[in-house]
């Protein structure tokens, strides 16, 4: 008796189409998507859980509109630094000088505006140029001098801290002009009829939702054109709904207080700009390339020295912007400003998905990492946890994030 060996066995069902019930199928899609995108969504989910935890723990005080606005204002300068630091780490380097450079630029701004009555817009431009020059000098020694970034920026940390003391003569200097203060502490103006909400903020939130949906569909189409793995469509729609809901909630919270802070608009422009550069512009790909595999990048024609130089120039300019925002927010320049800012920015980058070996990370990840630290600080202050235990908890969070990155790499490589 013969057997028909040509008979075809049933083809395995595609992921998420195994014939299980709708609920089980959606759950399986969710689990499969999470496994394939653990790095991308892990800290976003962690941020949501931390927010939920402190919202319950503080009886809702964490999500009061006033506190949400304060959360943005209090962490704006760290988020600015984190975006620049993420690019530095992706390129395979580190920058220990940003906290001291932040303080130095604040001191220069005070000398320009308070002691010499220079118009604040002119002083802002000069300070940004000084920050760019400071970053360029460090970038030159790193890229063209061949000195490790750790050593160059450690020297920069000491130099800029000393210059800050010299400029301020050991004293706090202020106040700053009202126009500059509004950049760090002000809100968008109110226009239109009285709706019990801030109208411009509502329009901004709706525009942001439309932009996010458009960008997600565009990225998905591009990935499909290059035959890259994409999320199953049901999970993709679930992701869109979650993102739109998160943006809408934050928009309503901000619109029910004084509206969107001006510094939030600055952060938004930086996030969109750097996100576009890292995804779509040649230099963004080159930054990933030199951090991921420097010898291969050189063989491919990447001008690694030029890219490294520009990365540190950019970091210097962002440190200057953070220094201006910080000084304007507290309406004074202090010799002790910027202490541990470099550690906060580095921690935000690693929590947000950067890798110690370079070549991995996103600008949005830096924002998420910074928000994780910001929500932890704010929530722990609201529940009365002392600064000593706050440091311990933040250290454990950083260790857990890096440990998760190492575990994820080993799992993918096995």
Structural domains of the chain, with CATH: 76-185+262-399 (1.10.3470), 187-260 (no CATH)
More confident residue, 3 or 400: 400
8-state DSSP, 62: G
Nearest to 37 by CA among 285, 249, 228: 228
Cis amide linkage into residue 175, ω under 30° from 0: yes
- 83 exposure class (CB count in 10 Å sphere: 0-12, 13-18, 19+): buried
8-state DSSP, 111: I
Measure the CA–CA gap between 127 and 109, rounded to whole angstroms.
7
Nearest to 175 by CA among 375, 327, 19: 327
Q: What is the pLDDT of residues 214-257, one digit of tens each?
A: 988 988 898 888 887 777 888 889 889 988 998 999 999 999 99
- Taking the alpha carbons at both ends of the chain, their separation in whole angstroms is 45
Q: What b/e string do you get for 319-345 counting C-beta neighbours within 10 Å, with b at 16 or more?
A: bbbbbbbbbbbbebbbbebbeebbebb
Q: Is the distance from CB of 360 to CB of 353 less than 8 angstroms?
A: yes
Residue with tokens 């779509």: 280
Q: Is the distance from CB of 394 to CB of 348 less than 8 angstroms?
A: no
Tokens at 94, concatenated:
């580190």
Residue 370 is predicted with a pLDDT of 93
Residue 247 is predicted with a pLDDT of 92
Output the CA–CA distances (angstroms, integers) from residue 142 to 65, 148, 201, 217, in the order listed: 44, 6, 43, 39
Q: What is the pLDDT of residues 198-210, one digit of tens each?
A: 999 999 999 999 9
Nearest to 402 by CA among 363, 360, 364: 360
Taking each helix axis as running N to C, give the angle between helix 178-185 and helix 262-280, from 0 to 180 degrees, rounded to the nearest 10: 60
Lowest average pLDDT, out of 234-238, 277-281, 404-408, goes to 404-408
353 — pLDDT class (breaks 50, 70, 90) = confident
Residue 227 is predicted with a pLDDT of 83
Output the CA–CA distances (angstroms, integers) from residue 395 to 42, 150, 399, 401, in the order listed: 18, 21, 6, 10
Measure the CA–CA gap between 125 and 253, rounded to whole angstroms.
33
Measure the CA–CA gap between 221 and 225, rounded to whole angstroms.
6
Q: What b/e string do you get for 378-400 counting C-beta neighbours within 10 Å, with b at 16 or more?
A: bbbebeeeeeeeeeeebeebbee
Q: What b/e string do you get for 19-34 counting C-beta neighbours within 10 Å, with b at 16 or more?
A: eeeeeebbebbbeebe
pLDDT surpasses 60 at 14: no
Three-class SS state of 261:
strand
Measure the CA–CA gap between 96 and 80, rounded to whole angstroms.
15
What share of the chain has pLDDT > 70, as a percent?
88
Measure the CA–CA gap between 273 and 141, rounded to whole angstroms.
27
Nearest to 324 by CA among 185, 188, 184: 184
Residue 324 is predicted with a pLDDT of 96
Q: Is the distance from CB of 102 to CB of 77 less than 8 angstroms?
A: yes
pLDDT surpasses 50 at 276: yes
Residue 236 is predicted with a pLDDT of 85
Output the CA–CA distances (angstroms, integers) from residue 344 to 91, 120, 323, 371, in the order listed: 19, 28, 14, 11
Residue 32 is predicted with a pLDDT of 57
């Amino acid at each position: 008796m013969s057997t028909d060996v040509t008979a075809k066995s049933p083809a395995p069902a595609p992921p998420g189409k195994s014939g299980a019930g709708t609920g089980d199928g959606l759950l399986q899609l969710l689990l499969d998507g999470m496994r394939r995108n653990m790095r991308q969504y892990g800290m976003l989910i962690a941020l949501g859980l931390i927010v939920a935890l402190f919202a319950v723990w503080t009886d809702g005080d964490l999500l009061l509109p006033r506190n949400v606005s304060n959360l943005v204002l209090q962490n704006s300068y760290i988020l600015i630094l984190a975006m620049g630091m993420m690019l530095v780490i992706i390129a395979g380097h580190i920058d220990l000088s940003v906290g001291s450079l932040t303080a130095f630029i604040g001191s220069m701004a005070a000398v320009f505006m308070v002691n010499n009555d220079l118009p604040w817009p002119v002083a802002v431009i000069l300070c940004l140029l000084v920050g760019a020059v400071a970053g360029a000098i460090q970038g030159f020694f790193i890229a063209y001098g061949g000195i490790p970034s750790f050593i160059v920026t450690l020297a920069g940390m000491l130099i800029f801290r000393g210059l800050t003391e010299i400029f301020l003569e050991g004293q706090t200097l202020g106040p700053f002009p009202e126009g500059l203060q509004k950049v760090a502490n002000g809100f968008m103006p109110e226009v239109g009829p009285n709706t019990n909400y801030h109208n411009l903020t509502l329009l901004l939130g709706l525009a942001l939702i439309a932009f996010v949906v458009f960008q997600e569909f565009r990225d998905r189409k591009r990935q499909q054109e290059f035959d890259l793995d994409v999320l199953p469509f049901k999970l993709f729609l679930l992701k869109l709904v979650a993102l739109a809901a998160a943006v809408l909630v934050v928009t309503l919270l901000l619109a029910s207080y004084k509206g969107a802070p001006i510094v939030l608009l600055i952060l938004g422009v930086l996030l969109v700009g750097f996100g576009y550069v890292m995804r779509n512009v040649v230099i963004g790909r080159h930054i990933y390339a030199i951090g991921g595999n420097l010898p291969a990048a050189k063989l491919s024609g990447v001008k690694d020295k030029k890219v490294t130089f520009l990365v540190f120039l950019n970091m210097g300019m962002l440190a200057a912007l953070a220094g201006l925002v910080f000084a304007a927010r507290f309406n004074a320049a202090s010799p002790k400003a910027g202490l541990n800012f470099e550690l906060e920015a580095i921690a935000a980058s690693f929590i947000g998905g950067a890798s110690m070996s370079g070549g991995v990370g996103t600008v949005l990840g830096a924002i998420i990492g910074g928000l994780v630290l910001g929500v932890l600080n704010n929530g722990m202050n609201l529940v009365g946890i002392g600064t000593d235990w706050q440091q311990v908890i933040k250290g454990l969070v950083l260790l857990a994030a890096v440990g998760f990155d190492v575990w994820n790499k080993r799992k993918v490589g096995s």
